[in-house]
Amino acid sequence: MKYKQTRDELLEQWDDQIGFIKRSCKDYDAGAHSEAKRIATSIRVLFHHTRNSYSLFNQLGYTNNFLFWSSACLYTPSNLLSSWSLLSLQMNGTEMLYIPLFKEIVSRTFFLELDDWWNEIIFDDKQFFLSRKDVVLAVSNKDGGAHVDPEFDESYACITKRNSLRHFIETNEGSVPPKNNPIYASIRQIACEVLHSCELFKESFTRIPYLDRKFEMRFADENRRFKWSTTDISTSDETKSIISSYASKPRKYFIDRFDNGIRREVITQ
């Protein structure tokens, strides 16, 4: 007969994975960018749930009251340039680097339920869309987190191996792409989102609904999606036409106000 772990044991497992993420983030920030592989593997353990893979998130019953901070800016598929919504580009001497945004963000951000956050588009190189789920599973399942695969998906290879985001710095030796891996940098930012979300998880708050603010998820395919608003985003007629070609599912918009003065904008189902 199999042993069933108690809730206290599952909570200990959760704390272990959060601890792994924190330690790997510290090492990543010190220059060990390969720690993104360990971060991705822990995030997979926490949140990836299938018939054969049971996430700690689901086992602990967090599905109804845990919200995820999306640090991604409002993505617009009509943009002719590539998008990488969790990162910035930084010059470091003669090198260009992808840098996680961390929490130093001046633009508007939102909190989402797991399914929307997990499947939100964070890369668009004008060939492929990649979501948080895509990059976490690619790094953990194929790029050395828990397994090394002999082949990568084309979408992952284009961004990590072929510079399909198409940014260069001009040097005496010609056009040189950014030095570091944008996927690994995005994993570091996803870790920041997870840790910040955990900080607010057990805080008490008052929820205020705003019925006149219309938010939704627009779907690039069956799962990958991006947040959109018909009341909060001003766009051209051309962009509106492009957006209208994507399937839409409505979401509700709230403001959560915490006792300590924290305010968060929430988009939920």
226 close to 220: Cβ distance less than 8 angstroms: yes
Handedness of CA 38, 41, 45, 47 (dihedral sign): positive
How do residues 41-58 score in pLDDT, each as one tens digit?
999 999 999 988 899 999
Question: Hey, is 96 helix, strand or coil?
Answer: strand
The pTM of this model reads 0.95
- Asked whether the beta carbons of 20 and 38 are under 8 A apart, the reply is yes
Average confidence (pLDDT) per 10 residues, the chain, 269 residues:
92 97 98 96 96 92 90 86 91 86 91 97 94 96 75 82 78 77 96 96 92 94 95 87 94 94 92
Residue 201: Cβ within 10 Å count? 12
Domain boundaries, the chain: 7-268
pLDDT, one tens digit per residue, over 93-130 is: 778 899 999 998 988 899 999 999 999 999 999 999 99
